[in-house]
């Protein structure tokens, strides 16, 4: 019996050791003297991962993301490359039959390596972004027991960090084809090993005489997307000494309910492949009528088909198989004549881009499917539709793209050109890109082959704020030229018979389906000519985003702001000296300058003030007393800042802008700027400001004109809807109320509805709340809800400080379903401080989805968990209060009428043995909403989902502005 065919991933049992500590050769390590876990100098390794990740795991060095610990780690610029040259060792089983062949595959090594397998050496060429596949059929041991050792060398030009620090260090890293952020940037400290390591998947693949290599799938559309053709080209390698008569099969299926599949197509073709040859074969196109299309987030469903290709060899049987999820969709873009911005269309429909910039998931490349899924789902939860993979980071991994396919995130993928290769800086960088242009192009082409079948991949871009050197740019332009099927946005979608004959099948192109742009500031982005016209990157006055002079161009690829996390994250990632809040120094101009502590400065803290332009937005709420107070007030600012940014852009959808990408959505380390969730996966309030602002149908207040606007990004007209506007003061009364009925909003339009008359009315309050609801007239179902806290012009929010003492009564009901370690909690929350007025429609509204939250904790221990007859769902009940319709109800007492303000849930381990100050949060958690407020009489539901570590009992806490401490329901 031979080895089971297919892929075996080698991710367990790796050991690592510094090369200078090991006197044995690779031949000795993989023949006579293999290491073990108790061998001197060897330690368990993180593979995939980096040298630094392994050293951190084994506590050889401190955690570089904690406090100032990174400064205690020796930088490769000071130690020399040998210090971070490491051996990695593992064993695996693989025993082949006579006609089987095996490949040893590395999907990513940084930067070069010597591989030893059972005493045989294989030298891998340089380059972080290239795959390596080596036929090891004749090297495997006959008994199936194999030893593998890999000596990994760092980048050739790791550079040094100048005393003044600076963006990109000394720029030497730009000479290599590798990640360029690793010498430090204005948002991250230097990575000491420059990401040296086996940083992506290692595998053994077993096949018969013929193997399948890099199939290319392309769909072409005709007759207004009713007819679709699937084009397929694949490479086939015959490794046997005789010609192989083959049957090449392709099967396309869709997954139905209950893990059943419907086969839509099954086609087989006969061919003969000469001995020891590598051929390319194009299958006949497959026809689909009215297929289910793949749509980006917010435009429709992400339908995916499963495409399987197999090759059967006469006299052998199935020799190899390949499968991939594939989405039928057509993405095009052009420069919009009205705005000058790049306009994207998916399946013929314009899409207004609202998304963010992405660096990578983790600065030590501890990449995982689980982390990727959380990251991408977070972006979808924010209602984003595009992620830009910044050029100083990674060519992102297939797992990243898989989840972008699942959740509908379009991806802008950049190649590895940044300011490290533009001939500027201090010291001056290399002006001609990486030293090895052929390596760069090989890596780029290999990356295209790796990623091109993903429907989420939207465009290729040559570099970040730069363009590649002329020869590289010319080659990429030629390699990534569009097939005629994809050239024009406004084509007439003629039938296939009416189109001009095309010589080459589209699947024979390297890509051919998505545009290549030479740089992030060219061709419809920023000023389109490479001027430094992205940004700004600091705190702004919220109303500024709505003004004509805020940003001149049609598509901003980078606009950034603050990103302070919650206090628990600061305590978890910094020692007590890092818990000191900034000093607030008043300047002669009257503006406040924030002076952060040295640890915050090291973690790239960006202040909440910009002297002479923006007054400190945290001080608008009063001077913070301590870390908790500072971080809570920062969340208030985060929410307002990012909601205003996106609402300002959507206010001018198509008339001024075609899209915006926020710098940036997250940090690959414990940074303190530009993020919607922190490195521990806890969200900031800005996350939920974005979630509301970017919903497909949205009601909003234009902070510059004070007009109520409705945004409709969908392809359908919105009709028979109404807007309810209510203003609430700090006393719990409603001084302004208005309903505008019988409204309609055209598809893909932003429409101003009416001007707000408050606070221009008599005796306006200094601080007030504004609640907007867009709802269907027929059933009062809420389509969009938006809650603001506002102050009079030239005022502040200081009156909210004494409002903390006003306790608002709440009533909550909750239930839970548990599947394995996954909990899904649904909480219904009502502000019971006041009964609805008879004349108001406010309380007739119903949420079609769970939306909001309130301040309490419920401990998931000691609960009466009742199984339903199906045995699939389990409900828990609160032990505090009465049962009501099989759902436990709890109440928080209060004496005041008013708004329950800025309520937020969190999930914690309820173990009573936790030490004081220990971070008890369970992360990540997905909330349907958070940092929300409820006006008197208002009721909402929030769903909370999370996984619980083994042996941990969770509790859900609710905090609020009106509450001193969290409430827990047991």
User: Which of the following is catalytic: 465, 647, 695, 939?
Assistant: 465
Q: Alpha-carbon Rg of the chain, whole angstroms?
A: 29
Packed helices 437-451 and 398-407: angle between N→C axes, nearest 10 degrees: 40
Catalytic-role residue among 3, 183, 414, 558: 558
Question: Quick one: 97 exposed, middle or buried, by C-beta within 10 A (0-12, 13-18, 19+)?
Answer: exposed
Q: Say which residues have a Cβ less than 8 Å from residue 601's Cβ, sequence separation at least 6.
A: none
SS3 category, 454: coil
Q: Give residues with Cβ within 8 angstroms of 356, minimum separation 6.
A: 379, 382, 384, 386, 387, 388, 661, 662, 663, 664, 665, 676
Residue 849: Cβ within 10 Å count: 10
* Lateral strand order in the sheet of 244-255: 261-273, 244-255, 305-313, 317-326
Task: Rounding to the nearest 10 degrees, give the CA dihedral for residues 904, 908, 910, 913.
Answer: -120
DSSP label at residue 56 = H
* Residue among 893, 885, 899, 901 nearest 937 (CA): 899
Three-state secondary structure call for residue 164: coil
Bridge partner residues of 769 (DSSP): 728, 789
Tokens of 372: 């990727």
d(CA 508, CA 232) in angstroms, rounded, equals 8
With contact defined as beta carbons under 8 Å apart, do 860 and 955 qualify? yes
Q: Distance between CA atoms of 930 and 90, rounded to whole angstroms?
A: 45
Q: What share of residues in the chain are helix, strand, coil (percent, to 5)?
A: 15, 35, 50
Residues forming beta bridges with residue 318, ordered by sequence position: 312
Q: Can you tell me whether residue 881 is helix, strand or coil?
A: coil
Per DSSP, helices labelled H in 150-218 are none
Do 201 and 372 form a contact (C-beta atoms < 8 A)? no
Asked if 82 is an active-site residue, the reply is: no
- Is 414:383 a contact under the CB 8 Å cutoff? no
Q: Spell out the residues 6+ positions from residue 393 whose beta carbon is closer than 8 angstroms to its own.
A: 179, 181, 358, 359, 360, 668
Structure tokens of 52?
């630094």
Question: What would you measure as the largest C-alpha separation in the chain, in angstroms?
Answer: 93
Other beta carbons less than 10 A from residue 489's beta carbon? 17
Identify whether the C-beta of residue 951 lies closer than 8 Å to the C-beta of residue 959: no
Contact 32, 104 (CB under 8 A): no
Residues present in the chain in total: 970
Cβ-proximal residues to 487 (8 Å cutoff; 6+ apart), any chain = none
Helix (H), strand (E) at residue 689: helix 685-693
CA distance 699 to 773: 7
Concerning whether 183 is annotated as a catalytic residue, the answer is no
Cβ-based neighbours of 804, under 8 Å, separated by 6 or more: 961, 962, 964
Question: Cis (ω within 30 of 0) for the bond into 111?
Answer: yes
State the Cα–Cα distance between residues 35 and 49, nearest whole angstrom.
20
Q: Residues 759, 768: contact at Cβ < 8 Å?
A: yes
d(CA 899, CA 37): 60
Task: Please say whether the dihedral angle defined by the alpha carbons of residues 605, 608, 613 and 615, taken in this order, is positive or negative.
Answer: negative
Is residue 403 within 8 A of residue 388, CB to CB? The reply is no
Which residues are designated catalytic? Answer: 465, 558
């Amino acid at each position: 019996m031979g080895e089971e065919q297919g892929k075996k991933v080698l991710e367990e049992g790796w050991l690592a050791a510094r090369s200078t500590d090991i006197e044995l050769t690779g031949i000795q390590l993989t023949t006579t003297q293999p290491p073990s876990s108790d061998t001197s100098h060897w330690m368990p390794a993180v593979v995939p991962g980096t040298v630094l990740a392994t050293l951190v795991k084994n506590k050889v060095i401190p955690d570089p993301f904690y406090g100032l610990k990174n400064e205690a780690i020796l930088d490769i610029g000071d130690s020399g490359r040998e210090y971070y040259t490491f051996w990695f060792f593992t064993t695996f089983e693989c025993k082949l039959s006579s006609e089987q062949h095996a490949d040893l595959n590395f999907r990513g090594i940084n930067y070069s390596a010597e591989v030893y397998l059972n005493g045989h050496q294989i030298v891998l060429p340089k380059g972080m972004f290239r795959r390596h596949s080596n036929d090891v059929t004749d090297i495997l041991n006959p008994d199936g027991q194999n030893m593998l050792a890999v000596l990994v060398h760092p980048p050739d030009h790791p550079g040094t960090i100048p005393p003044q620090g600076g963006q990109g260090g000394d720029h030497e890293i730009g000479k290599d084809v590798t990640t360029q952020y690793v010498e430090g940037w204005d948002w991250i400290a230097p990575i000491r090993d420059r990401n040296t390591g086996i940083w992506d998947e290692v595998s053994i693949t077993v096949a018969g005489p013929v193997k399948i290599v890099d199939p290319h799938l392309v769909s072409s559309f005709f007759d207004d997307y009713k007819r679709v053709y699937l084009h397929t080209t694949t490479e086939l390698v015959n490794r046997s000494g005789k010609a192989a008569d083959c049957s090449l099969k392709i099967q396309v299926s869709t997954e139905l309910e209950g893990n059943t599949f419907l086969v839509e197509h099954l086609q087989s073709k006969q061919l003969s492949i000469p001995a020891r040859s590598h051929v390319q074969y194009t299958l006949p196109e497959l026809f689909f009528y009215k297929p289910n299309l793949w749509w980006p987030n917010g435009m429709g469903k992400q339908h995916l088909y499963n495409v399987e290709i197999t090759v059967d060899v006469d006299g052998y049987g199935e020799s190899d198989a390949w499968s991939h999820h594939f989405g039928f969709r057509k993405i095009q873009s052009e420069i919009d004549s009205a705005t000058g911005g790049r306009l994207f269309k998916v399946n013929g429909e314009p899409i207004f881009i609202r998304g963010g910039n992405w660096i990578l998931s983790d600065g030590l490349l501890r990449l995982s499917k689980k982390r990727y899924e959380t990251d991408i789902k977070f972006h979808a939860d924010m209602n984003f539709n595009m992620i830009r993979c910044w050029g100083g980071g990674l060519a992102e991994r297939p797992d990243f793209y898989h989840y972008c396919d699942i959740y509908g995130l379009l991806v802008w993928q950049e190649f590895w050109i940044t300011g490290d290769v533009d001939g500027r800086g201090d010291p001056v960088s290399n002006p001609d890109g990486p030293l090895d242009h052929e390596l760069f192009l090989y890596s780029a082409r290999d990356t295209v082959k790796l990623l091109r079948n993903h429907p989420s991949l939207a465009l290729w871009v040559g570099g970040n704020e730069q363009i590649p050197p002329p020869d590289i740019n010319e080659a990429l332009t030629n390699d990534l030229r569009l097939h005629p099927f994809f050239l024009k946005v406004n084509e007439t979608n003629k039938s296939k018979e009416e189109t001009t004959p095309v010589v080459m099948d589209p699947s024979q192109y390297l890509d051919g389906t998505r545009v290549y742009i030479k740089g992030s500031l060219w061709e419809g982005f920023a000023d389109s000519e490479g001027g430094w016209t992205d940004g700004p990157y600091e705190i702004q006055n919220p109303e500024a985003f709505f003004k004509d002079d805020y940003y001149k161009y049609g598509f901003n690829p980078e606009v950034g702001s603050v990103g302070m996390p919650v206090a628990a994250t600061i305590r978890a990632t910094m020692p007590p000296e890092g818990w000191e809040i900034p000093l607030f120094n008043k300047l002669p101009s009257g503006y406040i300058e924030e002076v952060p502590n040295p640890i915050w400065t090291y973690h790239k803290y960006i202040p909440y003030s910009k002297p002479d332009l923006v007054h400190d937005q945290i001080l608008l709420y009063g001077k913070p007393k301590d870390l908790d107070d500072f971080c809570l007030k920062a969340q208030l600012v985060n929410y307002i800042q990012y909601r205003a940014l996106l609402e300002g852009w959507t206010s001018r959808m198509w008339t001024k802008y075609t899209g915006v990408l926020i710098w940036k959505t997250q940090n690959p380390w414990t940074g303190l700027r530009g993020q919607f969730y922190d490195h521990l996966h806890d969200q900031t309030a800005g996350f939920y400001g974005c979630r509301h602002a970017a919903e497909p149908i949205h009601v909003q207040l234009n902070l510059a004109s004070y007009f109520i606007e409705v945004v409709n990004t969908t392809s359908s007209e919105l009709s028979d809807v109404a807007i309810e506007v209510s203003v609430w003061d700090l006393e719990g009364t409603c001084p302004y109320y208005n309903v505008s009925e019988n409204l309609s909003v055209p598809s893909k339009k932003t429409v101003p509805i009416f001007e707000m008359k408050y606070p221009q009315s008599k005796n306006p309050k200094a601080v007030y709340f504004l609640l907007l609801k867009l709802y269907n007239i027929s059933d009062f179902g809420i389509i969009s809800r938006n809650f603001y806290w506002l102050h009079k012009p030239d005022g502040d929010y200081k009156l909210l400080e004494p409002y903390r003492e006003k306790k608002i009564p709440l009533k909550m009901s909750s239930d839970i379903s548990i599947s394995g370690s996954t909990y899904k909690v649904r909480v219904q929350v009502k502000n019971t401080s006041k009964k609805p007025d008879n004349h108001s429609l406010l309380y007739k509204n119903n949420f079609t989805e769970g939306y909001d939250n309130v301040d309490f904790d419920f401990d998931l221990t000691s609960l009466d968990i009742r199984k339903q007859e199906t045995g699939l769902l389990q409900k828990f009940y609160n032990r505090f209060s009465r049962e009501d319709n099989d759902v436990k109800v709890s109440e928080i007492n209060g004496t005041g009428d008013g708004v329950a303000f800025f309520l937020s849930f969190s999930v914690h381990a309820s173990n009573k043995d936790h030490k004081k100050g220990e971070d008890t949060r369970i992360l990540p958690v997905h909330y349907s909403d958070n940092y929300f407020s409820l006006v008197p009489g208002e009721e909402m539901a929030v769903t909370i989902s999370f996984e619980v570590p083994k042996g941990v009992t969770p509790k859900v806490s609710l905090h609020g502005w009106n509450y001193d401490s969290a409430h827990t329901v047991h």
